[in-house]
């Protein structure tokens, strides 16, 4: 009953280290290497624009997308259900659980707040960085939460984004969101590790 993670960052040539954003804007001005030679994203402005554009569509169903993300998390990592005290509830019944619905909505609103602050993604002490670090620190206080769960969130988000956006989830959109989610995870983990 462990967690399955299909985090395939090497497949799309995204490093999990600080090279992605980590405050060094010169690193961001190089071309992102992807599996699709047609995909080229050159600057933090390109990243912000693409994320904001696709977020407008995704934010059209905040509760539904949030719920689907959490249902996917519970499906791929059943032990996370204990965090919400629903470990004995069948997956089919979780969609009607008010606590899960509310948390999914809060989760999506947090992503929305991050998207609103994405313009500063290449700045070391940006509002986005601070927001994510605080959020990561908060998760340290949730009994049973483990930092590796952040990667389960990555998988669930990418799965739901592809599912919801359909044909609009182009290789360029996928690569961009992947990079952004890796950055989010690194900042969340940084906050989690803080005293």
Rounded average pLDDT over 153-171: 96
DSSP 113: H
More confident: 41 or 184: 184
- Domain enclosing residue 101, as ranges: 9-193
Q: Is the pLDDT of residue 171 over 90?
A: yes
Asked if residues 121 and 128 have their Cβ atoms less than 8 Å apart, the reply is yes
For the stretch 9-26, pLDDT in tens is 333 333 323 323 333 322
Q: Is the pLDDT of residue 33 over 60?
A: no
> Among candidates 112, 128, 133, 135, which has minimal Cα distance to 55?
112
The answer to whether residue 182 sits within a structural domain is: yes
**24: domain CATH number?**
1.10.490.10
pTM of the model: 0.77
For the stretch 112-154, pLDDT in tens is 999 998 987 877 788 889 999 999 999 999 999 999 898 899 9
The answer to whether residue 145 sits within a structural domain is: yes
The answer to whether residue 30 sits within a structural domain is: yes
Could you give the CA distance from residue 63 to residue 65 in angstroms, rounded to a whole number?
6
Give the number of domains in the chain: 1
> Among candidates 22, 19, 18, which has minimal Cα distance to 30?
19
Rounded average pLDDT over 161-170: 96
Percentage of residues in the chain having pLDDT higher than 70: 78
Could you tell me the pLDDT band of residue 79, with boundaries at 50, 70 and 90? very high
């Amino acid at each position: 009953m462990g967690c399955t993670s299909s985090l395939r960052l090497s497949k799309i040539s995204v490093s999990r280290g600080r090279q992605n954003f980590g405050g060094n804007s010169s690193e961001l001005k190089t071309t992102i290497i992807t599996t699709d030679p047609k995909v080229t994203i050159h600057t933090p402005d390109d990243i912000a624009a693409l994320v904001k554009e696709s977020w407008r569509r995704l934010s059209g169903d905040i509760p539904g997308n949030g719920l689907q993300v959490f249902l996917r998390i519970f499906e791929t990592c059943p032990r996370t259900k204990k965090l919400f005290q629903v470990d004995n509830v069948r997956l089919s019944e979780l969609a009607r659980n008010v606590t899960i619905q509310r948390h999914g909505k809060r989760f999506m609103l947090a992503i929305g707040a991050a998207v609103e602050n994405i313009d500063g993604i290449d700045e070391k002490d940006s509002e986005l960085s601070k927001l994510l670090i605080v959020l990561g620190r908060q998760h340290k206080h949730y009994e049973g939460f483990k930092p590796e769960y952040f990667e389960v969130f990555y998988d669930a988000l990418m799965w739901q984004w592809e599912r919801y956006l359909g044909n609009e989830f182009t290789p360029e959109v996928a690569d961009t969101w992947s990079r952004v989610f890796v950055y989010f995870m690194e900042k969340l983990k940084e906050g989690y590790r803080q005293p």
